[in-house]
Structure 1
């Protein structure tokens, strides 16, 4: 069974969104290695690490093609976005070495927190966004791990816009299909996924699972075990 199909995203930057269907059961955990302390805490592997890396390289190529030879400030949304941002920037650097196109980059960080357990809360906490004057007059690429309702992305966009950048684009590894979405969609998308709570690849549940390489669906017993 395959979990991809080809769609065209709203901005037409890619034209090959990888969409994971609602009925995709995921890969059996028995096919992969993962930390033993999470044995009973996961339902399945939704996206293996190797697939994440292949897709991230494709996104890096699209970004380089679209933004090459422009000074760029990459604004990483922490904490969940740090691994994706690191791998994306590294892929862009490697591709630039073998291309006539170069993309000068600086990287900065902001932390936005809106989840308690597996629920988005009305309160959005912003850490590290007081001095982002480096964005002024620059092209900005906001890097976000998961876009669900779009509330966090909206806050990041408003924060960046307050420093009067030349332009803003967004790269999101995951776009989650949720009924209460605000309609925000990244310019560059890795995967569109069902409305399931996912962990791994720096995505957490109450600070657990960041040490998991694959993107996995957390089990109900895992939610209860690490609930606060």
Structure 2
């Protein structure tokens, strides 16, 4: 189902049964369903890469990845952007990569406060085209804080690419320039999206179940970030 230039998963979308795909055995009892298989994720990223490369034209850009969940999306997206340039003699352009950390979640709840880490030394973004790469947009408030920070550096332009955007009644109304999937208001894990630092090693994007939330809650786990 397609709309607003992204794939929209309706609220009653159930995803796929775990038995149809391979997931790490240590997570089998902690997942409700596979929302988006890894192959579909890769195909969607390929199209996003083509759209971004087309829109940038011959303009160099700086990719700014939001850690930690965005690192896998960044790597796959940039690789596919390079492939687009490789087959276009006129559009090949250089790009740089940097990283930033934003923290607003504890377990599966937003704290309502945004902690910004690693923002020192962003003056190199001045007069540059910036592509912010994020894993998921929830309320949009966290991204708006980051965009306010970036605006102070006076970049030439800023575009946001997010692999997922969640439909929620508490949304600020912010919408990225590039969106892979619009999803229901469910807590997802996998493809580098975590729950207290777990599930990043899961290739598919899955819905965590209540047992998984309890099993990997901070009170039960001592895994450091």
User: Structure 1 length normalisation: TM-score?
Assistant: 0.93
1:87 aligned residue: 76
Q: Which stretch shows the higher mean deviation, 121-130 or 32-41? A: 121-130
| Correspondence 1:115 to 2:105 | yes
User: What are the within-5 Å matches in structure 2 for residues 52-63 of structure 1?
Assistant: 52-63=41-52
- The superposition leaves residues 97-150 of structure 1 with CA deviations (integer Å, 9 ceiling, x where unpaired) of 001322321011000010000001122111111111121110001111100100
Equivalent of 1:37, from 3, 26, 29?
A: 26
Match of residue 217 from structure 1? 207
TM-score w.r.t. the length of structure 2 is 0.94
What pairs up with 1:191-210 in 2 under 5 angstroms? 191-210=181-200
- Is 1:69–1:104's contact at 8 Å kept on the other side of the alignment? no
In 2, Cα distance between equivalents of 1:58 and 1:170: 15
Q: 1:139 aligns with which of 123, 129, 147?
A: 129
- Matched-pair contact (CA < 8 Å) for 1:143–1:171: yes
The DSSP-based 3-state class of the residue aligned with 1:38 is helix
SS of 2:29's equivalent in the other structure is coil
Residue 158 of structure 1: CA displacement?
Answer: 1.1
Tell me, what secondary structure is at the counterpart of 1:75?
strand
CA distance in structure 2 between the partners assigned to 1:130 and 1:114 by the alignment: 19
| 1:21 counterpart residue number | 10
Q: What are structure 2's unaligned runs of at least 5 residues?
A: 219-225
- Provide the residue aligned with 1:6 in structure 2: 2
State the match for 2:36 in structure 1.
Answer: 47
For the aligned residue pairs, the C-alpha RMSD in angstroms reads 0.8
SS at match of 1:84: helix
Runs in 1 of length 4+ with deviation above 4 angstroms? none
Please state if 1:161 is matched with 2:151. Answer: yes
**Count of matched residue positions in the alignment of Structure 1 and Structure 2:** 217
| Post-superposition offset of 1:88 | 0.3
Counterpart of 2:93? 103
| Structure 2: distance between partners of 1:36 and 1:159 | 41
Point out where structure 1 has 5 or more consecutive residues left out of the alignment.
9-14
1:123 and 1:24 map into 2 onto residues whose CA distance is 31
Alpha-carbon contact 1:67-1:103 (below 8 Å) kept: no
